[in-house]
Every structure is written in structure tokens, then in C-alpha cells.
A and B are shown apart, each in its own frame.
Chain A
Amino acid sequence: MNERTFRRIQRLARVLKLACTACLILMPAFFIYAIAIGLAGEPALQREYADYVLPPVIPLWTLILVRLIQAVSVLLIFYVLWQMRGLFGLYLDGETISDRCATRIRRCGQGLIYIGLAGVLSNTLIVLLLTMVNETGPQTLVITFSQGDIGFFLGGGLIVVIGWVMGEAARIAEDNRGFV
């Protein structure tokens, strides 16, 4: 790798690592703020799922369960951000083609696939949970694939494959180091 490319990687990695760190700090702060101003309460949930026939009063346990299901996706986003931060940290330290980088890339991809999967499953579960307590209205089972979910699946799959290729490249680079 030539010096110019190496410097470019390090420059970009520094910015991206900072961005990931900022997201990791700001996201929990945003969620705490959202809960504090009541955006996680029942009226907000009624608004979020206004397309479905919901009971007039959502029980507290359902509300908590719905928010916990939604929290899974948020935790997965944290996981991917953490892995990305680690990867950019390695790039910043000058480690570009190594098994550690490949592992981080693979984990990012896997995380994105899980986010896509959680997006599909959580919506199904949440709508089922909300309509299950419906006494007057129908109970609904929905399976939705949004463009975002498909994007996460494809993007995540692509990154996992790149991670495997990087692992192989790291192995070859290590092998080459044994030659003089």
C-alpha cells in the first residue's frame, strides 16, 4: 500500500471513528431525553401504530414489552457502531490488512443483517402484541419488509462477504511476510 493511500485511510478513519464515538454517546442521551418528554409513553405508541385497530387503553405490560422489543434493534445498532469504531481505530493505528480487521468487518455485516431481521420480526411481534389485547377489534398478524430492511439484509450480506475476503487477504499477506 502506498503512503498516500495509507494517509487517506488514516485521515478518513479518524473522522469516522469520531463520528461513531459521537453516535455512541448521543444516541443514549437522545433516548433518555425521548423517555423524559414522554415520547415513549402510550399516546406516542398509539400514534406510531395508528394504521392498526388498537385497544383504547394499552396495558402497561404491553407497552413495556413493545419498548423492550424495539430496544433490541437499538442495541444491535450500538453493537454495529461499536464494531465500526473498533475497525476505524485499527485503521487509525495503521493496521489495515489483518485478521482483526476482517473479524470486525464480518461482525459489522452480521450486525446489519440482524438489524434487518429484527426490523421484520419486531414489527410482526409488536402489532400482534398490541392487537392481542383487542377485545372489540380484530387481532392482526403482519409481516412487512420495508426498503430499509432489504437494504440492511443486502448491505449486511455484502459486508460479511467482504469480511471473509479480507480474512483471506490477511492470511495471504501473513504468508507473504514469510518470504524475503
Chain B
Amino acid sequence: MEIVVRLDVMLALRKMKSRELSARIGISEQNLSLLKSGKVKGIRFETLAKICEVLECQPGDLLEAVAKDPAAR
């Protein structure tokens, strides 16, 4: 299993730009971009809570566990 970040989907649903979200949760746009692309080792509960608060959603709306693609191994 691997964790996939669905932040871009939630941003589209809320019609919010990455720039606005990064400004409201207090992290850099670069870090938010890395988070959206899943190129991070992890996300702090503090950051997750802020994103959930701003986007009015649950952590499960942002993160999804999916089976690893066997071809990618």
C-alpha cells in the first residue's frame, strides 16, 4: 500500500488556489507543491489540521491508501 495525497482534488472542489492555501496555513508554496505531488516523507499533524480547517474537510479526504502498482516495483 502507498499513501496518495488528494490535496489537488480538494483544492479544486473548494475552488481555492495553492497560493491562497499556503498563505492561510503558513507554509511555503514550494512545500505545498511538494506535498501535492507526494514528494515528501511525511506530513505533520499540525499542517494536516490547518489544511483540514481551511478546506473544511477530514484527513481522509486528503489522504488515500492505494495498492502499489506491481509494474512500478
Within the complex, which residue of B27, B32, B42, B47 is in contact with A178, where a contact is CB–CB below 8 Å? B42
A-B interface pairs (CB < 8 A), number: 19
A175 nearest in chain B by CB position: B41
Contacts of A180 in B (CB 8 A): 27, 31-32, 34-35, 40, 42-44, 47
Q: Which residues of B contact A (CB under 8 A)?
A: 27, 31-32, 34-35, 40-44, 47
Most buried by B among A175, A178, A179, A180: A180
Q: How far is the CB of B55 from chain A (nearest CB, A)?
A: 15
Q: When each residue 143-180 of chain A gets 1 if its CB lies under 8 Å from chain B and 0 otherwise, what string results?
A: 00000000000000000000000000000000100111
Contacts of B41 in A (CB 8 A): 175, 178-179
Whole-angstrom CA separation of A80 from B48 in the bound complex: 47
User: How near does chain A come to B1, taking the closest CB pair, in angstroms?
Assistant: 19
Distance of A179 Cα from B35 Cα, bound (Å): 9
Q: Which residue of A lies closest to B47 (CB)?
A: A180
A180 to B44 CA separation, bound complex (whole angstroms): 6
Q: Which residues of A contact B (CB under 8 A)?
A: 175, 178-180
CB neighbours (8 Å) of A178 from chain B are 40-42
Residues of B with C-beta under 8 A to A175: 41
Q: In the complex, which residues of chain A have a beta carbon less than 8 angstroms from the beta carbon of B42?
A: 178-180
Contacts of A179 in B (CB 8 A): 40-44
CA distance A175 to B42 in the complex (A): 10
A179 to chain B, nearest CB (A): 5
